[in-house]
Structure 1
């Protein structure tokens, strides 16, 4: 177990989502990491002592964050809070004062064993850790060294106050809506010259290229659309493995769909696309089974997992997508 103290923060306003139970249960299995959730909702049953829930009204939360950041905040609805993630180190400094690292984490994730990826060696040698491997700060999970120089990085973005006070969600935490994988981050001064909004990715990757921060950026997560590509994942006793026949690999400023010849351990599965499918099965377990599967159809205990023959058809569809992408 790492000697580094790590806290991961989730800020949520509005009705609690149905997938929250899975997040809490898998977070509870990561005993060496503290999860701190701040919400305007009363806490559900918390499955483990490493999860701390703080209830605040949205107005009170926004007022406190605005004071700590010394900036008016345009938080008219909960989703605007994603823009503020890179500033959590300042906004929740009191909660984080006893930690070596902090991170923002989304609750639409099913977690594996985070200690396999937040290793002492990586933490000793990096200031910021990203686990998407696609040249941008990843909103669902990015981890920062809890030092003032790192916590204040978001302030290097020209116009950050305007971004925070604008009530529109602007995706500052990632790329400010520039979602194309071939859109590399660039220096904030270039964004200003172009009349473009600067994102946290621009700030972080520019700082790394100039030797100002030590950045880790490798792909250790599963974030795939189950409508388009095969999803076969196995969670077993706290660890999560991707056993899908193909996966998306980012290289040369493009996404490539490549065969996966052996299972790979991943940090989490992001329900980004799956949660939008009304029929997607998300169980409300009181406790985790020793093993369960994540599939194109939903999350199932091993005794009720769907027949895997479907993967051949889905793999064929994935191969067709890959061919179309390469033909562009």
Structure 2
């Protein structure tokens, strides 16, 4: 793929119980680079997995405060998700350096993005192609995975007001405001960004529902299989296994006990 992509995530203090699965599935998607901001020793030999190590969460926040020009008031790693609209600005030097280390020239990434680590990636190249990216500026609009075209017009939106919203005010609040899913997407839309978002690409496990259900069509007894780097949904019909469709990734949301138990028993099979 000609378009170069960097997806940024962060883990401070401890790794989630999904992290090993996330890391292995991310490393198989060679067309996408992943940058992990962390204070943890993370080992991975895959070329597309890059780590920016901080001595502590406090050091990370101090550098964020200095770069953004005010005290954000962030005291917990969970709250850092609200920094996502500012990632391209906050980490522009790191992003440039990682590009140079990866590709050996002074070019730049065509898209930057962010993602959660409570998911397992399927084959991203099945959904993200040059043709797709050439015809959009924003790919997917969810906090668990979004790509944004790497241009100043969009990278500087974090500092702009949108109606009653302002990032600085949101960062002062103790709770996670999910600005990357709400106000930031509205800002991008207002700035003329071409948005390509389709919930049917994602196996997004519903909250407070035991079965693994997704937005859109669901099937009785559906199962989600991670096989050969793909997330595939299958059903059993009159004793025959039928492949229904393929997903970009499976997102576990707030159901760690179900997903963890299932994946530990059989990491290749997630059954609803």
Task: Establish whether TM, by shorter chain, passes 0.5.
Answer: yes
Q: Partners of 2:57 and 2:198 in 1: how far apart?
A: 35
Identify the residue that residue 141 of structure 1 maps to in structure 2: 145
For residues 20 and 284 of structure 1, do their structure 2 counterparts lie closer, same or farther at Cα, with a shift above 3 Å needed?
Answer: farther
Worse-matched range after superposition: 62-71 or 271-280: 271-280
> What secondary structure does 1:149 align onto?
helix
SS of alignment partner, residue 263 of structure 1: strand
Deviation per CA, 1:105-126, whole angstroms, max 9, x where unpaired? 1111100111111110111111
Specify the alignment match of 1:154 in structure 2.
Answer: 158
Q: Does 1:122 align with 2:132?
A: yes
1:34 is displaced (CA, Å) by: 1.0
Q: Is 1:55 the equivalent of 2:39?
A: no
Q: Find the aligned partners of 1:51 and 1:107 in 2 and give their Cα distance.
A: 13
What's the offset of the Cα at 1:96?
Answer: 2.1
Match of 1:213 in 2: 193
Does structure 1 residue 68 correspond to structure 2 residue 67? yes
Q: Helix, strand or coil for the counterpart of 1:283? A: helix
Contact 2:233 2:246 in 1 (8 A): yes
Mapped partners of 2:235, 2:259: distance in 1? 22
Aligned pair in 2 of structure 1 residues 78, 122: CA closer, same or farther (>3 Å)?
A: same
> CA distance change for structure 1 residues 27 and 279 in 2, over 3 Å: closer, same or farther?
closer
SS for the counterpart of 1:282 is: helix
- Normalising by structure 1, what TM-score? 0.68
RMSD of aligned Cα (Å): 2.3
Give, in whole Å, the separation in 1 of the partners of 2:252 and 2:235.
16
Alpha-carbon separation, structure 1, partners of 2:66 and 2:11: 19
Taking the TM superposition and a 5 Å limit, the aligned residue runs for 1:224-235 are 224-225=205-206, 227-228=210-211, 229=213, 231-235=222-226
Structure 1 residue 138 displacement after superposition: 0.6
Q: Distance in 1 between matches of 2:34 and 2:46?
A: 10
Partners of 1:162 and 1:94 in 2: how far apart? 25
Relative distance call for 1:231 and 1:79 in structure 2 (3 A) is farther
Extract unaligned runs of 5+ from structure 1. 131-136, 176-198, 246-260, 297-328
Give distance in 2, aligned partners of 1:54 and 1:284: 32
Q: Which moved more, 1:144-153 or 1:156-165?
A: 156-165
Q: TM-score, normalised by structure 2?
A: 0.81
How far 1:39 sits from its partner (Å)?
Answer: 0.9
Cα offset for 1:202? 2.7
Give the aligned length: 241
Structure-2 change in CA distance of 1:18 and 1:284 (3 Å)? farther
Larger displacement relative to structure 2 (6-15 or 271-280): 271-280
The reply on whether 1:107 has 2:127 as its aligned counterpart is no
**Residue 204 of structure 1 pairs with residue 188 of structure 2:** yes
Contact 2:259-2:270 at 8 Å conserved across structures:
no
The structure with the largest alpha-carbon Rg is: 1
Q: 3-state DSSP class of the match of 2:261?
A: coil
- The match for 1:243 is 234
> Quick one: structure 1 residues 5 and 41, their matched pair in 2 at CA, closer, same or farther if it must change by over 3 Å?
same
Give me the whole-angstrom Cα distance separating, in 1, the residues matched to 2:69 and 2:260. Answer: 44
